[in-house]
Chains A and B, each alone.
Chain A
Amino acid sequence: MSSAQQPPLSPQPVAEQQLPKEHYLNATYGIRSWLLTTDHKRIAILYLISVTFFFFIGGIFASLIRLHLLTPGGYLVTPETYNKLFTMHGVAMIFFFLIPSIPAVLGNFLIPIMIGAKDLAFPKINLLSWYIYLVGGAFVLYSFSTGGLDTGWTFYTPLSSIYSNSAVTPAVIGIFINGFSSILTGLNFIITVHTMRAPGMTWFRLPLFVWAHYATSLIFILGTPVIAITLLLAGLERMFHMGFFNPVYGGDPILFQHLFWFYSHPAVYIMILPAMGVISEIIPTFARKPIFGYDFIAASSIGIAVIGFIVWAHHMFLTGQATYAALAFSFLSYLVAIPSAVKVFNWTATLYKGSISFDTPMLYGLGFIGLFTIGGLTGLFLACLGLDIHLHDTYFVVAHFHYIMVGGAIMGYLGGIHFWWPKITGRLYPEYLARIAAITLFVGFNLTFFPQFILGYLGMPRRYHNYPPEYQVLNVMSTAGASILALGYLLPMVYLTWSMRYGKVAGKNPWPATGLEWTTDSPPLTENFHETPVVDWEPYDFLHRPELGLLGATSKKIVPAHGDD
């Protein structure tokens, strides 16, 4: 299926390929067919549009923040406005972009197809969760546009519950409502994975993407109710002066932090685990070999989800908590580093003796390994009690979590979007432009956030609208990086949109990859498969899949598992 004079790239569409006659995008037409759809793929597209909207809102705030910090005096906006910018940046990005991004877009689209199901277990609840997300988002946008929000995304009391004069109540209500969207999505995923796997799709044949989402869903349903209750209590204290957190009313402000981080630390894993799932698909596909240590990668997802629930107070080493509590939480935080490290080692080992290509998803995948490694290792600095005394609440923390959230989660998200774009739209994106964008993002990202590690060690506190002049050089570097980063985000927006109409037709399996989703049409039918697939191959096995058309493939062990003939 390829010609010799071409560079060794895998996505090589065959000229005569055409989109399938009928697929989920053209099955029905009209606005109602989208807004009332129960097709998980269409709901994923709805989510794609809405999370992109919030990503751009959050991105505009971020750009303004970096512009403002170009000079020590910070002359662009007033302190009030600056505080609102970083708060709204955090709220938009975390609750309305990062948390739903991979699960609700890629997970929604792919999990049923990957396990050979026609849809999620509860298609109507799936649609409901998107509407809940919209209602929550509307409340938050209302808060943003009627005075904004200046509490920090962490909503620490008693600042948020008593002292802030900004629109806290609608924002808190919005996040509270949005939480139900996460809970329902998590519930849907768990039940779907348990009950709707195709014949032969055993637990240890599940793609690691599904394992990662299973672990994420556990956090969704166990953790989200806690943040909902916490914000509800803060809201009650604000509206009715009920004493939960304000000591003047007999409350305890530290209680809020315990409750908040009990959810919000696992929430970090909600954001990163799905990205790890994406990377676990990309790396074996573009190294053309089975993933190294499947069992360990799968188990480490569950390990991260479980241990992630008992590390929360490492955000609170300097609140005056008991020394013994701090020791315990520091120890546990080091334990959670191990499953993360296991994943990185296994991904790296997968590359050994592979057949590696430069395709865009792989660039994101390898970029992810590097950036997540730095993000993870700097987390060890913050988990270290002695260092946290110095680093807590400085730019070191900001740099660390942006390495995880942007370098990890968003790189994973973009890698996944590129990887599955042919499946979602049936068309290929322009490869070279996409590579340029990936490299631009990598360079811009590092230039933006690496200087912030040094700023943090120098002691520059986070959430400062101005700073002493000795910090300026590093801030200028960071702002310069942010402008490159912004460009890197705009590029995919443009060429992906372009490719929906003008991209080359991809065919079923352009890479080729081994997952069940690549055995059906691109874009798939509304029912995903023409007939129920039967899985009788091991995950990421290229050798026993002659239909992939690769060298040295044997037909041993294989039975055609897709039925479009």
Chain B
Amino acid sequence: MQSELPLYPEQASNFAPQVDGLVLFMIAVCAFFAVVICAAVIYFFFKYQRKHPDEVGVPIHGDMRLEIAWIVLPFFLLMAMFGWGAVIYVDYRHTPNDTLDVYVIGKQWMWKLQQPDGRKEINELHVPVNRNVRLVMASEDVIHDFSVPAFRVKMDVVPGHYNTMWFRPTKPGRYHFFCSQYCGTNHAVMGGWVTVMEQDDYAKWLSGTTASEDPVAVGQKLYSDLACNTCHQADGKGRGPSYNGVYGSHVKLADGSTVVVDDNYIRESILQPNAKIVAGYLPVMPSFQGQVTEDQIAALTAYIKSLKDQAAPGKPGAAESATGKK
């Protein structure tokens, strides 16, 4: 429990001590300047108080050395702030490879979260301590934002594409998460709790529940239900590219550029198939905009992801394309 008047939230992730360290540095620098300026104002105010109603001050018009000093010195301090902040931010935006991926869907006014094994939660998120966790987030309507103050992280959840964020919880416990991008009437109640568990407890928690639908299986079923399989044949001989070995690979596009096949690319290819056509294929796929839900996109992505270690078949016109296969 925290005191009646807490000054900073709990530190419960790898980012928390980094952010708190930086904020202490910033407070020190800024407080120094604020105190110097306020002290100078107050000191001058009393020291040079008008003694006679008709008195004038000493006419000093400026001092070039001072001007240069207070342009150059703050510049270096500002660059230190910029640099330190940039280091944390770049780390935050660069997700490590070994993450536990949780799919997050925001909608007015609730959060749906799905563990890698398919277990679903509403406004609750269970994660193991000391594991890198990545949230892959989509919105079904307006812009939301997933924010965990105790982890010092947040990221907008934007309709139309996936945003991801990552963190490594360092302290078991229950922490608030909030929607922090204003999203309409019940914005303030669109939040919940992150539960950080010991790794054993997390494993027990996962196994102790009725196995929910495996997203890979759901995706595989959608693959045939939505007739994806008529074109995207496994042997690569259909009208669309095979899914085998494609996730995470670099693919050459019809316009000559290359793209990494990630969650966002798959999502875009389902909703706006003609935006980025793989070299050697024709823009014949219809859009599935409005026909698939965010959950279904996530399931299809999980299915495609599950095939990433399958051997990719040779593709017409793009022999060198499957270089990313590992």
Contacts and interface: CB of A to CB of B under 8 A. Distances in A.
A320 interface: yes
B266 interface: no
Contacts of B207: none
Interface residues of A, number: 107
Contacts of B147: 393, 459, 461
Nearest to A358: B49
A170 interface: no
Q: Is the interface of B mostly helix, strand, loop or mixed?
A: mixed
B284 interface: no
Contacts of A1: 54
A131 interface: no
Contacts of B282: none
A136 interface: no
A351 B40 contact: yes
B57 interface: yes
A457 B8 contact: yes
Interface stretch (A92-100, A381-389, A490-498): A381-389
Given A320-B155, A373-B33, A353 B142 contact: no
B286 interface: no
Interface residues of B, number: 92
B86 A386 contact: yes
A338 B69 CA distance: 12
B180 A393 contact: yes
Interface in A445-467: 454, 457-459, 461-467
A248 interface: yes
B252 to A, nearest CB: 22
B56 A164 contact: no
Given A318-B155, A320-B155, A454-B7, A338 B74 contact: yes
B160 A390 contact: no
Contact of A380 (B50, B78, B178): B78
Interface in A542-560: 542-543, 549-553
B85 A385 contact: yes
B158 A458 contact: no
Given A247-B159, A319-B156, A8 B52 contact: yes
A163 B6 contact: no
Interface in A468-499: 468, 470, 473-474
Nearest to B21: A386
B15 interface: yes
Contacts of B71: 338, 342
Nearest to B38: A370
Interface string B85-125: 11111101110000000000000100000000000000000
Nearest to A381: B26
Interface in A353-390: 353-358, 366, 369-370, 373-374, 377-378, 380-381, 383-390
A450 B30 CA distance: 15
Contacts of B237: none
A75 interface: no
Contacts of B51: 8, 355
B41 A370 contact: yes
Interface stretch (B186-194, B210-218, B313-321): B186-194
Contacts of A345: 37, 66, 70
Nearest to B93: A323
Contact of A459 (B141, B149, B182): B149
Given A8-B51, A330-B82, A353-B57, A253 B160 contact: yes
Contacts of B163: 319-320
Contacts of A464: 178, 187-188
Interface in A318-348: 318-320, 323, 326-327, 330-331, 334-335, 337-338, 341-342, 344-346, 348
Given A351-B44, A464-B188, A551-B54, A390 B156 contact: no
A158 interface: yes
Given A338-B75, A458-B8, A393 B57 contact: no
B188 A163 contact: no
Given A163-B141, A334-B78, A393-B181, A466 B188 contact: yes
Given A348-B37, A393-B154, A293 B62 contact: yes
A337 B71 CA distance: 10
A389 B15 contact: yes
Contacts of B26: 380-381, 384, 387
B143 A389 contact: no
A254 interface: yes
Contacts of A390: 19, 149, 152-154
A17 interface: no
B259 interface: no
B62 to A, nearest CB: 4
Nearest to A545: B56
B185 interface: yes
B23 to A, nearest CB: 6
B4 interface: yes
B53 interface: yes
Contacts of A462: 180, 182
B131 interface: no
Interface string A248-284: 1010111000000000000000000000000000000
Given A320-B158, A331-B82, A389 B153 contact: yes
B50 A465 contact: no
A472 to B, nearest CB: 9
A386 B182 contact: no
Given A79-B187, A351-B40, 18 more contacts: A8-B52, A83-B182, A159-B143, A162-B142, A250-B272, A296-B67, A317-B89, A319-B156, A351-B41, A352-B48, A354-B57, A355-B57, A380-B81, A387-B26, A457-B9, A459-B176, A542-B56, A543-B56
11 contacts: A83-B182, A248-B290, A288-B57, A353-B60, A384-B22, A386-B18, A387-B22, A388-B85, A468-B176, A473-B5, A551-B55
Q: Lowest 9 A-B CB distances belong to which pairs?
A: A459-B149, A247-B160, A386-B88, A289-B57, A385-B89, A384-B85, A354-B57, A351-B44, A386-B85
